[in-house]
Structure 1
Amino acid sequence: MRSLQFDWPESPIQRITSPSINKQKLTVCVKRDDLLHPNISGNKWRKLKYNLKDMHDNNKNAFITFSGAFSNHLYASSMASKLYDIEGHVILRGPHIDEQNPTIKMARACYMNLHVVNRITYRKRNNTDYQDEIREQFPNSHLIPEGGSNQSALQGVRELARSLPESDYILCPTGSGGTLAGLIDGSAETSHIMGVAVLKNAEYLNQDILGLSAKAATQKNWQLLCQYHGGGYGKFSPELWLFCQNMHRAYNLPLEPIYSGKAFYALWQLIEQGYFPAYSKIIFVHTGGLQGLDGLRYRKLI
Structure 2
Amino acid sequence: MFKKIYSPVQKVSFAPFNHLSVKRDDLIDPYISGNKWRKLKYILAKAKAGNKTHLVTFGGAYSNHLVATAAAAARSGLKSTAFVRGEAVKNEMLLLCSLFGMELIFTDRESYRDRHKLFESRFADNAEVCFVDEGGASVEATLGCAEIIGELTETYDHIFCAAGTGTTAAGLLKGLQEQQLPTKLHIVPVLKGGAFIGDEIARYTTTDKQLELHLDYHFGGYAKTTPELIHFIKTFTAQTGLLLDPVYTAKMFYAICDLEKRGQLHRDERILAIHTGGLMGLFGMRDKF
TM-score (norm 2): 0.93
Question: Superposed, which structure 2 residues align to 1:234-249 within 5 Å?
Answer: 234-249=223-238
Out of 11, 20, 35, the position equivalent to 1:28 is 20
Report whether the alignment pairs 1:110 with 2:100.
Answer: yes
* Conserved 8 A contact 2:111-2:118: no
> After TM superposition, where is structure 1 displaced by more than 4 Å over at least 4 residues in a row?
129-135
* CA–CA separation in structure 2 for the residues paired with 1:265 and 1:250: 14
User: How much has 1:283 moved relative to structure 2?
Assistant: 0.4
In structure 1, distance between residues paired with 2:45 and 2:217: 35
Letter in 2 for 1:55: A
* Amino acid corresponding to residue 7 of structure 1 in structure 2: K
The number of aligned residues is: 285
Question: Secondary structure, in 3 states, of the residue corresponding to 1:201?
Answer: coil
How far does residue 274 in structure 1 lie from its aligned partner after superposition?
2.4
Asked if 1 retains the 8 angstrom alpha-carbon contact of 2:14 and 2:240, the reply is no
Per-residue CA deviations over 1:34-60 (Å, capped at 9, x if unaligned) read: 002243110000001110011011111
Offset at 1:212? 2.1
Query: Whole-Å Cα distance in 2 between the matches of residues 106 and 177 of structure 1?
Result: 26
1:56 aligns with 2:48: yes
Q: Following the alignment from structure 2 to structure 1, what is the Cα–Cα distance between the partners of residues 130 and 25?
A: 25
CA RMSD across the alignment: 1.7
The unaligned stretches of length 5 or more in structure 1 are none
Partner of 2:210: 221
5 Å-filtered alignment, 1:151-230, equals: 151-164=139-152, 165-187=154-176, 188-213=180-205, 215-216=206-207, 219-230=208-219
- Percent identical: 35
Task: Report the residue type matching 2:288 in the other structure.
Answer: L
- Cα distance between partner residues in 2 of 1:227 and 1:209: 18
Counting only pairs closer than 5 Å after superposition, residues 19-168 of structure 1 correspond to structure 2 as: 19-22=15-18, 27-94=19-86, 96-99=87-90, 101-125=91-115, 132-133=120-121, 135-164=123-152, 165-168=154-157
- CA distance 1:142–1:16, change in 2 (3 Å): same
Distance 2:111 2:229 in 1: 34
SS at match of 1:20: coil
| Distance (Å, rounded) in 1 between the aligned partners of 2:266 and 2:241 | 27
Q: Deviations over 1:42-81 (max 9, x none)?
A: 0000001110011011111111111111111111112212
Return the alpha-carbon distance in structure 2 between the equivalents of residues 235 and 278 of structure 1: 29
Taking the aligned partners of 1:195 and 1:138, their CA distance within structure 2 comes to 38
Q: Judging changes above 3 Å, is the alpha-carbon distance between structure 1 residues 138 and 249 closer, same or farther for their aligned structure 2 residues?
A: farther
Instruction: Structure 2 unaligned segments of length 5 or more: list them.
Output: none
